[in-house]
Amino acid sequence: MTYFHSKLFFYATILCTILLLQSSKNGYMLFTTAQYVPPSATRLTSLFPHLNFNQDFSPVFGGPYVQIYGNGSNANITLDKKSGSGLGSKNHYNYGFFSAAIKLPTGFSSGIVVAFYMSNSDLFPHNHDEIDFELLGHQNHKDWILQTNMYGNGSVKTGREEKFRLWFDPTTQFHEYSILWNKHHIVFLVDNIPVREVIHTPAISTAYPSKPMAVYATIWDASDWATHGGKYPVNYKYAPFVASLGQMEMGGCIYNPNDISGQSCSKSSSPSSLDPVEGLDFVKLSNQQIQGLQWVRSRQMIYSYCKDKRRYKVLPPECNT
């Protein structure tokens, strides 16, 4: 360290100490849980009808590991050494609001993925669309990482991942993970707070999901990548791992396979409007939602593909706007 730098360091330390003292005097404590109280959020959840796990979903794998209870209002999905498990919606939807309340497995969770996502790889194996919430287990007890991602029209060569630390313990209570998807934007929300917005600009239009998708909730073993790139695999000594699901909420346009254009797909009923995600409240974020988005992204975001120049020599076009 040069003389100049050590002087600089000395003054910087003093300045920091003064700031710390100042802030605790004002009753605002740095580095305490105070920073984990997010700004208030407009409630989008509870505007839409609830789906029933018995009627509107079916197991997609690990059938015996899917346990539906509460007369279809809740489901537990389980992973153990033999199998993971998951549910998928019977219908496909062309745009809408899709939400699940999820409580994650407690205890040791490395290598596990609990996903709430939309996909149409069954209908369009070569040019599918996908919108993902992936909750990634962690080597530390209780620390789960939230990853979001999307693919459009088969854009599988370009991962558009973003990762966030959660501002709560996701294993003690249910929290709401929601996707708002219309032709204007895709918004990922956690407890109604937007964590990511993908605006449908010309730059991203070829990779923007625009075909009907089904909704899935799954738990599986992703030992080879989920936790620090595969450094910490699933430890089955702690199995079974159980994720609980509830409040499966959906407002959207049910896709009718006999009408491939999707133009006349029937809207599922909604208490607030006929076309639940086209109204003013859904085509752009409110100022309050923007504040929430900025709060999350400035404090909790730990990875964005748009900043990963080692991975992308040329960043995807939407990153430059």
Ligand X SMILES: *[C@@H]1O[C@H](CO)[C@@H](O)[C@H](O)[C@H]1NC(C)=O
Q: Which residues are catalytic?
A: 130, 134
Pick left, alpha or beta for residue 194 (phi over 0 → left; psi -120 to 50 → alpha; otherwise beta). beta
Out of 42, 52, 139, 256, the residue judged to bind ligand X by CB under 6 A: 52
Would you count residue 72 as binding ligand X (CB under 6 A)? yes
Compare residues 204 and 226 and give the one whose CB is closer to ligand X: 204
**Residue 153, interface with ligand X (CB under 6 A)?**
yes
CB 303 within 8 A of CB 134: no
Is 46 a residue that touches ligand X (CB under 6 A)? no
**67 sits near ligand X (criterion: CB under 6 A):** yes
Options 68-76, 141-149, 188-196, 292-300: segment touching ligand X (CB under 6 A): 68-76
Site string for ligand X, 187-226 (x = CB under 6 A): -------------------x--------------------
Residue found by looking up tokens 């290598």 in the block: 111
Cβ atoms within 10 Å of 305's Cβ, excluding its own: 17
User: Would you say 244 or 291 has its CB closer to ligand X?
Assistant: 244
Residue 33 or 71: which CB sits closer to ligand X?
71
Which one of 51, 118, 242, 253 is in contact with ligand X (CB under 6 A)?
A: 242
109 binds ligand X (CB under 6 A): no
Which one, 140 or 206, has the nearer CB to ligand X?
206
For the CA atoms of 148, 33, 138, 60, what is the dihedral angle to 10 degrees? -50
- In whole angstroms, the minimum distance from the beta carbon of 59 to ligand X comes to 15
For the record, the structure tokens of 150 come out as 């999307």
Q: Is position 247 an interface residue for ligand X (rule: CB under 6 A)?
A: no
Burial class (CB in 10 A: 0-12, 13-18, 19+), 22: exposed
Single out the residue of 191, 204, 202 nearest to residue 289, CA to CA: 191
Contact between 244 and ligand X per CB under 6 A: yes
In the chain, beta strands by DSSP E: 57-61, 66-69, 74-79, 85-89, 93-103, 112-119, 130-136, 145-151, 162-165, 175-181, 185-190, 193-199, 214-221, 241-254, 266-267, 301-304
Residues at the contact surface with ligand X, assessed by CB under 6 A: 52, 67, 69, 71-72, 76, 103, 127, 153-154, 206, 242, 244
